[in-house]
Amino acid sequence: MPLRVRKLIGVFALFALVIVWALVAMAIAQFPPIFESPWIAGLYYVVAGIGWVLPAMPLVRWMSKA
């Protein structure tokens, strides 16, 4: 597969990943234990905000493979 096509597919996959990740994170943030405690909410938002990078790393690696 040509590199340009792989990068195009990867860009759309990354957009989809970030959108789905954000929607799921917002839904989970409404659970009472997270919603009611500011400390748990802060920790959750840090983990959810950084967490999308882990599934994105293999995708970016695949996109840049020559």
What would the pLDDT profile of 1-58 be if each residue is shown by its tens digit?
Answer: 888 999 999 999 999 999 999 999 999 988 888 878 889 989 999 999 999 999 999 9
- Decide: 62 and 17 in contact? Cβ < 8 Å: no
Q: Kindly compute the dihedral angle of the four CA atoms of residues 56, 57, 58, 59, in this order, to the nearest 10 degrees.
A: 50
- Decide: 57 and 34 in contact? Cβ < 8 Å: no
| pLDDT value for 8 | 94
| pLDDT value for 65 | 83
| pLDDT value for 36 | 86
| pLDDT value for 66 | 66
- pTM for this model (two decimals): 0.81
- In 3D space, the residue among 23, 21, 41 whose CA is nearest the CA of residue 32 turns out to be 41
- In 3D space, the residue among 54, 53, 52, 62 whose CA is nearest the CA of residue 8 turns out to be 62
